[in-house]
Structure 1
């Protein structure tokens, strides 16, 4: 009986200590993992909103870039972190779609993390150098048909989102491109576009905003059904080609390790939502041409599962056609 009472006492003390820790959250600096290299659009957005969120926190919030494996390296660090809200991550398309579909992390699925909120949504786009002869998407596709395999298009990793976007464009139009793969950061695509390694790149307009704003590059089309207010000269695909039903892009979602307590998730969601709604962040998003697209914890969890199911089906169909390899 003494032994049983001792165990019960230990359990009660542990539970009390945990509750105190949650009530006192956060009590030390919060690490925010960005599973991509510095310099890309995801890095810039996460740093901006985190800097604003930090203003209402009693501790520092610091962003750390953990690149590699199409975000798998950063995801692994998140999964290994204690579920106390002191380590969170900003994930993108690859974490929810590419990695589980390709089974790059054995045993990984969305149940290994808890969704805090979705911040933004960005459509993929085709961008060319300022002196490119391609003025429209139709020009680009026509040239690719006439010179099959000669037009070099830079993407971020074979099998990743931008690769899937380009494969679908080929499948829907009959065009054939020479696909050049870079790492998961848009920074390398920028360099390739500027030094002439490629004729175009597929990524979001926000990733290349500095080049477009400076006149060093031009957006041909955005794979969206709405006009991007930040880039009024870049038409959505539904306006450019009404027969081309291709809408693809990424998003930024904040997540925490599984088993992170509800009250900690709520605290993080509220803090980031306040930062999201600030004039500072909203005006900055408009300036860089990124679409604000907030979804709270429950909404983004449902949305992520629905999106994953839809894109898994699309990718499986492309595999059956021999267009994509798993």
Structure 2
């Protein structure tokens, strides 16, 4: 065998041995967890809580880093470009899985550029008002909006994002028209806008506003679900309102790593997070903030994402054809 070929073979064997050794030692340093939204929102709180429990079964710490911007695109870009060694993972939400790829915010981006670890929560959207709002129910709000179109101000997140799509479907189903105000960056700026009186109500999950609702500074009018949220017994699901509409919409949290992350590393992360998910601490804490624990492991979450994308991309394409939504 030529000397050069022998040298290349030895080099390849050395690299493979090094990679195997690195996998065997994983993890041996702290793990960075990217949350592509501002600090203070529901996703941030849930990922921090779950990661703090997950690290208890690992020999290293897990630290959350908030990288906001572009409907989660800025954080996603960092995640997909990170070294696939398990030391950078991230949280995906509705916008990461649906809005960003549909709008082409990151050219060529798709969920195939990541390995999905697990889905950990699902949380329906809701309408949340300030404590002094004049509407006592969802039906009162819809009636007022029909009487005076485009005068009631609603705070959504990014234009074209999930909360915008929820609002567009709500208007289409009820005939009500609202004045839209966009607050990029997740639920945190929505909270400030509602408290400052910049908007009359917001659309996001009840979990995002749980502390304000519990303190009495905010009030949920309806949740876009067909099941009663036990954490918020005073907030009816839309299926139990007088307004006869079927609108079920919401977000979720998926944990992911860059593509080409070794399967053994993904398994280690999934096990740590599953143990944290099943812990009494997490199971008892999550319903208190109005979010449903909803686990799908790495073997199932890929298929679920593909099905969800197919359904929602179709809905968004139809809205785009009608001129209601634009890419």
TM-score by length of 2: 0.98
5+ residue gaps, structure 2: none
Partners of 2:139 and 2:243 within 8 A in 1: no
Q: Over residues 258-313 of structure 1, what are the superposed CA-to-partner deviations in whole Å (9 max), with x where a residue is unaligned?
A: 00010000110000000000010111101111110000012111101110110000
- Secondary structure, counterpart of 1:55 in structure 2: helix
SS at match of 1:89: strand
* Counterparts of 1:123 and 1:241, CA distance in 2: 19
Q: What's 2:113 paired with?
A: 112
Q: CA deviation at 1:243?
A: 2.7
1:180 is matched with 181
Distance (Å, rounded) in 2 between the aligned partners of 1:276 and 1:44? 14
SS at match of 2:208: helix
Q: Which is further off, 234-243 or 316-325?
A: 234-243
Per-residue CA deviation, residues 150-174 of structure 1 (Å, 9 max, x unaligned), is 0000000100000000000001111
Q: Distance in 1 between matches of 2:224 and 2:301?
A: 22
| Residue 171 of structure 2 corresponds to residue 151 of structure 1 | no
Residue 293 of structure 1 aligns with which residue?
294
Q: In the aligned structure 1, how far is the partner of 2:323 from the partner of 2:74?
A: 29
Other-structure match for 1:277: 278
Counterpart in the other structure of 2:210: 209
194-203 or 316-325: which moved more?
A: 316-325
SS at match of 1:122: strand
Alpha-carbon separation, structure 1, partners of 2:284 and 2:245? 32
Instruction: Compare 130-139 and 117-126 and name the one that shifted more.
Output: 130-139
Measured against aligned partners, the alpha-carbon deviations of 1:56-114 in whole angstroms (never above 9, x if no partner) come to 11011100000111100000101111000000001101111000000010111111001
Instruction: Report the Cα distance in structure 2 between the residues aligned to 1:175 and 1:311, rounded to whole angstroms.
Output: 23
Measure how far apart 1:225 and its partner are: 1.1
Q: Distance in 2 between matches of 1:324 and 1:247?
A: 19
Q: Give the match's secondary structure for 2:140.
A: helix
Map 1:24-103 to 2 at 5 A: 24-103=25-104
What secondary structure, in the 3-state scheme, does the structure 1 residue paired with 2:45 have? helix
Q: Does the aligned pair in 1 maintain the 2:223–2:235 contact within 8 Å? A: yes
In the alignment, what sits opposite 2:224? 223
Q: Which residue of 2 is the match for residue 243 of structure 1? A: 244
Alpha-carbon separation, structure 2, partners of 1:321 and 1:10 = 59
Distance in 2 (alpha carbons) for counterparts of 1:172 and 1:324: 16
Matched, 1:139 2:140: yes
Q: Per-residue deviation at 1:242?
A: 6.6
Alpha-carbon distance in 2 for matches of 1:186, 1:44: 11
Which SS does the other structure have where 1:97 is aligned? helix
- Residue in 2 aligned with 1:306? 307
CA distance in 1 between counterparts of 2:182 and 2:8 reads 57
RMSD of Structure 2 on Structure 1 (CA): 0.8
Residue aligned with 2:257, SS: strand
* Superposed displacement of residue 230, structure 1: 0.8
TM superposition outliers: structure 1 runs of 4+ over 6 Å:
none
TM-score (norm 1): 0.99
The 2-side partners of 1:184 and 1:292 are apart by: 24
1:16 equivalent in structure 2:
17
State the shift of 1:241 in Å: 4.3
Q: Distance in 2 between matches of 1:34 and 1:112?
A: 17
Distance 1:232 1:12 in 2: 61
The number of aligned residues is 326
